[in-house]
Amino acid sequence: MEGMDEDEPPGRTPFFRAKNLERALRLKNLFIKFEGAGITGTQKDRISKLHVLRAKEMGYDTISLATCGNYGASISHFANIYGLKSVVAVPEYYAGERNEEIRANGSQILEVSAKYEDLVEYMRDRSNDENWYDSSPGSKNSQIDLEGYENIAYEIVSQLGRAPSFVSVPLGNGTTLAGIYSGFDKMYSRGTIRKIPRFIGSSTPNGNPIVASWRKRRKTVMELDPSTIRETKASEPLVSYRSYDGQKALNAIYRSNGFATYVTDEEMYRYSTLIEHFEMLSVLPASASSLAAVDKVINRKSDSRDIVVVLTGRSRMWTTQ
């Protein structure tokens, strides 16, 4: 499988029926939307290029963000291509698997003694003071994020030929799920599709406000106690005490009559192994949570028509050729 060409816009990621996983999990009409085929290996590529181009249009010479890795690698990649400086802040305690890659793209890395959510606020203030374009979640520029992820919905309908019954998406800040839902909602409003899929959100029991709020049947997303948050190598892309687009994601789950569920680290590893074994895709364990969630909540007797699992990132072992 080849990755995206440098000159192509982010998107047009592979979509296919996962017949081997269907048989293994006793599911019907199971489809995979593989966002790991992007240049830097995650769905973040869809929004990073948009942010970089907008920053350039607005006359900025530097783009900045707070990240734990994947988003920083993506922003730094496109900033390097389009001639912008980039400043990437990472939590000091974070292992930084992608820090070397970020530096190789010419970025300045700021290691700050702060949790990710506090780091986002720090970079918001620092970007304002330094006149940097802030591409962090929840920034004044973050509407671009929803617009970028809407394209996943448009591609699914184009590739499948119709709206599916279910779409399963991993939850961190909730931005990806909220954006995909927005795309389906716009198509439904225009009469392009006859229904909006039911959304399944997956995240970690180590801490995620969206799943915690849905499980308590709260209509307003809650903020968790930071002291209760536990990050692991598997759950890091999903864990948070504050989800910046959590309310939008929670609304999408309720409005689509969907579900939200926790997936343990052990389950993430197990389902990523199943995906690699049966479909020959090496994906991040956190990305595999979307498949684990489907296996948990789908009623195989009545709910097994057109299930789309969004795999948001590939394993670092998987590279483009």
| Predicted pLDDT at 235 | 94
The continuous run of DSSP H or E covering 266 comes out as: helix 265-279
| pLDDT surpassing 90 at residue 308 | yes
**How far apart are alpha carbons 219 and 206 in whole angstroms?**
21
pTM equals 0.93
Least confident of 5-9, 13-17, 157-161: 5-9
Do 285 and 265 meet the contact criterion of CB atoms below 8 Å apart? yes
The per-residue pLDDT for range 112-160, each reduced to its tens digit, is: 888 889 999 999 999 999 999 999 999 999 999 999 999 999 999 999 9
Do 199 and 167 meet the contact criterion of CB atoms below 8 Å apart? yes
List of residues 6+ apart from 190 with CB closer than 8 A: none
**Average pLDDT estimate for 177-193:** 98
Which pLDDT band, with edges at 50, 70 and 90, does 205 fall under?
A: very high
Helices and strands (DSSP H and E) totals, the chain: 11, 10
| Predicted pLDDT at 114 | 87
Mean pLDDT of the chain: 92
| pLDDT surpassing 70 at residue 174 | yes
**How far apart are alpha carbons 149 and 153 in whole angstroms?**
8
| Predicted pLDDT at 9 | 54
Phi, psi at 55, each rounded to 5°: -60, -45
| Predicted pLDDT at 304 | 58
Of 42, 34, 29, 44, whose CA–CA distance to 13 is shortest?
34
Domains and CATH numbers, the chain: 15-43+143-311 (3.40.50.1100), 45-134 (3.40.50.1100)
Least confident of 123-132, 193-202, 225-234, 292-301: 292-301
| Predicted pLDDT at 1 | 33
| Predicted pLDDT at 301 | 59
Residue type, 295: D
| pLDDT surpassing 50 at residue 5 | no
| Predicted pLDDT at 2 | 36
| pLDDT surpassing 60 at residue 229 | yes
| pLDDT surpassing 70 at residue 320 | no
The per-residue pLDDT for range 51-98, each reduced to its tens digit, is: 999 999 999 999 999 998 899 999 999 999 999 999 999 988 775 678
**Average pLDDT estimate for 36-65:** 96
| Predicted pLDDT at 210 | 98
| Predicted pLDDT at 6 | 46
| pLDDT surpassing 50 at residue 3 | no
**Average pLDDT estimate for 34-53:** 95
**Average pLDDT estimate for 274-293:** 97
**Average pLDDT estimate for 100-114:** 92
Least confident of 210-214, 225-229, 287-291: 225-229
List of residues 6+ apart from 273 with CB closer than 8 A: none
| pLDDT surpassing 80 at residue 244 | yes
Rg of the chain, C-alpha, whole Å? 18
| Predicted pLDDT at 302 | 62
Which pLDDT band, with edges at 50, 70 and 90, does 99 fall under?
A: confident
